[in-house]
Chains A and B, each alone.
Chain A
Amino acid sequence: MKKQLVPWLFLLPNLLIFAIFIVTPALSSFYYSFTDYDMLTFSGKFVGLSNFISLFRTPSDFSHVLTRTFFYTLLVVPLVFFSSLGLSVITTSDFIYGRSFLRALFYWPWLLSPSIIGISWKWFLDYDAGLINIILIKMGLNPISWLIDKRLAFLSVTLVTVWNVAGYFMVMFNAALTAIPVEVYEAASLDGANKWTRFWKIIFPLLKPTSVLVIILSTIMAMRSFEVIYVFTSGGPGTSTTMVAQKIYHTAFMERKLGMASAMSIVLFLILIILSLLQFKVLEEKQ
C-alpha cells in the first residue's frame, strides 16, 4: 500500500511546480481574457467576448501584428529549412575538412543568449559604426540604414532569426543524414545522373520525417519570437518588427491592460497548440 505512494513523492516537486506555474496560469488566462482586468487596480469585471471582438475588428493594432507575425513566419520557415539543410550537407560531406569544427561553429549562434545576439547584430548593423557600413563607406558607397528603414529592419530581423536557429536544425538533419545507410549513397552514385538530381531524388525523400519536424518546430519558434527581437530592435522602428509575443508583453506590462493581453495570449495559444499537436504526431510516427 505504502509502495504506491513512493512514485508520487518522487514526482511531487515537478507536479507542484507545473500545477502552480503552468497549469494555473494557463487556465486563468482563459478567465482573464473575458474580463477588463487591469494592472493599476488589480481588478476587473466580466466583459464576455468584447476583448476578442475588438482584437479582430479590422483594422486593429493586433490584427496588424498578427498578420506581420504570419508573414515573418512564412519567410523564416523556408529560409531556416534550406539553410539548415545546406549547413548539414556541408558538415556531413566527405569533401570538407574539419567537419566537427564547422559543426561546432555553425551551432554556436544557437548557444548564445538573446541579449548577446541582439546586441551583436545591433552593433554589426549600426549606421555609424557597424562593420557593413564601414566597408561600404571604404568602398565609396553610401551607408545603409539597416535598423532605421522599416523594411530593412524587418528583413534584418528575419535574417537574424534564421541565423540564430539554423545551427540547431542542422544538428537534427545531421542525425538523419548520417543514419542513411552507405549503400543508399553508393546506389545513388552508380546512377548516371548528376549529384544535384541524385540528392533531391534519392537522399532528400529519405529525410521526410525530419523535414516535417523541422518545419513544424521552426514555425513554432517563429510564432513565439520575442527575446532576440526585443533586444535587437525593441520591435521598432515604429512597430515594424513587433511580433505577437511582444505585443502581449507591451499590452500587459506597459499599457497594463491584462484582460486584453490575455485575449491576445489565447489567440497565440490556440495557434501554438495546433502546431504542437502536429509535432507530437510526427514524433510518434517517427518512433
Chain B
Amino acid sequence: MKRRKRIFLVILNLVVYVFAFLYVLPILWTVFSSFKEESDLFSWPPRLVTKLTMINYRNVFSKTQLPLFMRNSFFISIFATIITVLISIMGGYALAKYHFRFRGFISSFTLSMLMIPLQVIMVPIYLVLSKIGMINTLWGLIIPPSATPTGIFLAQRYLLSALPDEILESARIDGAGEMKIFFKIVLPLSTPLIAALSVLSFTWRWNDFLWPLIVVGTPRLYTVQLALGMYAGEHIVQWGPLLAMTVISMIPVLIVFLLLQKYFVKGIATGALK
C-alpha cells in the first residue's frame, strides 16, 4: 500500500515537471534558437541540434542599434521609477497621515483612474501630448505614466500601518518642518515600500510597449521593446539578431525578479489592482 502510494507520487511529480517544461518551452526554444547560426535556423530538413554560436549576439550589436535602444530603455525606466516612487509615496503619505477636506474623495478619485485604461484614451492622449510638445521626446515617455493609482494605493496602505503617528507628532513638537519630516523620517522608514514600488515600476516601464508606440515615431528614441515589436512586424524578419535581442531584453527584469521576488508577490497579494 505504502509502496504503491510512493510510486504514484513519483509519477505525479514527473507528470507535473514535464508539464512545467512544456509550459516554458516556447521561451526556451527562443533562447536555444538565438544561439544557432542564421543558416541553421531555416535549414532543410530541419535539425533540432546544431552547432551553437554567439554570432547572433555579435550581429545584434554591430547590425542593429541595440546599444542605443538599451540606453533609452534604461534611462526611461530608471528616471521614471525614481519619479514614480517619490510621488507615489508623497501621495500615499498625504492620504494616510493628514486629515483634510476631500480626503475620501481624492482617495476614490485616485483609484478611479484605474478604470480608464490607456487602450481607450490613446487617441486624445496623443493630441494632448502633441499640443504640449511631448511627442517624440524622452520626457513624453517618462512623465505621463509616472503617476499610478497602484503606487499611491500601495504607499497609502503601507504608511498607514508601518508609520506610527507618534513619530510624526514628536518630530513636529521638536520643530521639524513638514518637508523635513517627509525627507528625513518618512522616506527613510519606507525602505521595504521603496523596494516594492521600484521593482513594480521598473518592470512596468522596462516592458512597456503601448506607451512608447504612441509617443515615439523616430528610431532614435525607440526603447528595446518598441524596437523588438517594430522588427517583428517587418516583412522580412531577420530572425537571428531578433532572437538574440529578445533574449537580451529579458535579462534586466529577470535579474530584478530573482533578487526581489518576495516584493512581487506582496504587490499582487495586496492589490489585485494593476
Binding site for B on A (CB under 8 A): 3-4, 6-8, 10-11, 13-15, 17-18, 20-22, 24-26, 28-29, 32, 90, 95-97, 102, 104-109, 111-116, 118-124, 128-129, 131, 133-134, 137-138, 163, 168, 171-172, 175, 213, 217, 224, 226-227, 230-231, 234, 245, 248-249, 252-253, 258, 261-262, 265-266, 268-269, 272-273, 276-277, 280, 283
B12 to chain A, nearest CB (A): 6
Additional A-B contact list (18), CB under 8 Å, known A113-B208, A230-B209: A7-B98, A10-B98, A11-B95, A17-B144, A17-B146, A18-B110, A105-B20, A111-B254, A113-B209, A116-B246, A116-B250, A120-B246, A226-B210, A253-B126, A258-B123, A268-B120, A273-B115, A276-B115
Q: Answer whether residue B268 sits at the interface, using C-beta atoms and an 8 A cutoff.
A: yes
Whether A111 contacts B257 by the Cβ 8 Å rule is yes
Whether B90 contacts A102 by the Cβ 8 Å rule is no
Whether A112 contacts B250 by the Cβ 8 Å rule is yes
Whether A108 contacts B27 by the Cβ 8 Å rule is yes
A1 to chain B, nearest CB (A): 12
* A17–B232 CA distance with the chains assembled, in angstroms: 33
Whether A14 contacts B272 by the Cβ 8 Å rule is no
Residues of A within 8 A of B100 (CB): 4, 7-8
Residue of B nearest to A286 (CB): B272
Whether B91 contacts A25 by the Cβ 8 Å rule is no
Q: Answer whether residue B136 sits at the interface, using C-beta atoms and an 8 A cutoff.
A: no
Residue of B nearest to A249 (CB): B122
Whether A129 contacts B42 by the Cβ 8 Å rule is yes
Interface size on B, residues (CB 8 A): 84
Residues of A within 8 A of B128 (CB): 20-21, 24-25, 28
Residues of A within 8 A of B194 (CB): none
Q: Answer whether residue B206 sits at the interface, using C-beta atoms and an 8 A cutoff.
A: yes
Residues of B within 8 A of A121 (CB): 26
Interface of A is mostly: helix
* A18–B45 CA distance with the chains assembled, in angstroms: 56
Residues of B within 8 A of A116 (CB): 27, 30, 228, 246, 249-250
Whether B239 contacts A129 by the Cβ 8 Å rule is yes
Which positions 201-235 of chain B face chain A at CB distance < 8 Å?
Answer: 203, 206-210, 225-226, 228-229, 232-233
Given contacts A119-B246, A171-B265, contact A29 B124 (CB under 8 A): yes
Whether A14 contacts B152 by the Cβ 8 Å rule is yes
* A20–B143 CA distance with the chains assembled, in angstroms: 11
Residues of A within 8 A of B268 (CB): 168, 171-172, 175
* A268–B25 CA distance with the chains assembled, in angstroms: 34
Whether A14 contacts B87 by the Cβ 8 Å rule is yes
Residues of A within 8 A of B127 (CB): 25, 28, 258
Q: Mark B107-150, 1 if CB is under 8 A from A, else 0.
A: 00111011111011111111110001000000000011111000
Q: Mark B1-27, 1 if CB is under 8 A from A, else 0.
A: 000000001001100100010011111
* A129–B36 CA distance with the chains assembled, in angstroms: 12
Residue of A nearest to B98 (CB): A7
With a 10 A CB-CB cut-off, give which of B30, B123, B272 has the most chain A CB atoms.
B123
B89 to chain A, nearest CB (A): 9
Whether A22 contacts B123 by the Cβ 8 Å rule is no
Q: Could you give 17 example pairs across A and B, Cβ below 8 Å?
A: A11-B106, A14-B88, A17-B146, A20-B128, A21-B125, A22-B116, A25-B125, A111-B203, A111-B257, A113-B225, A115-B226, A138-B48, A245-B120, A265-B122, A272-B120, A273-B115, A280-B111
Q: Answer whether residue B65 sits at the interface, using C-beta atoms and an 8 A cutoff.
A: no
Whether A231 contacts B125 by the Cβ 8 Å rule is no
* A112–B26 CA distance with the chains assembled, in angstroms: 12
Given contacts A102-B16, A104-B261, A123-B30, contact A114 B229 (CB under 8 A): yes
Whether B29 contacts A124 by the Cβ 8 Å rule is yes
Residue of A nearest to B83 (CB): A13
Whether B24 contacts A105 by the Cβ 8 Å rule is yes
* A112–B257 CA distance with the chains assembled, in angstroms: 11
Residues of A within 8 A of B265 (CB): 171
Whether B124 contacts A113 by the Cβ 8 Å rule is no
Given contacts A11-B90, A276-B114, contact A137 B124 (CB under 8 A): no
- Choose one: A29, A113, A131, A277; the contact of B249 (CB below 8 Å): A113
Q: Answer whether residue B33 sits at the interface, using C-beta atoms and an 8 A cutoff.
A: yes
- Choose one: A15, A113, A168; the contact of B207 (CB below 8 Å): A113
* A277–B115 CA distance with the chains assembled, in angstroms: 8
Residues of A within 8 A of B187 (CB): none
Which positions 135-179 of chain B face chain A at CB distance < 8 Å?
Answer: 143-147, 152, 178
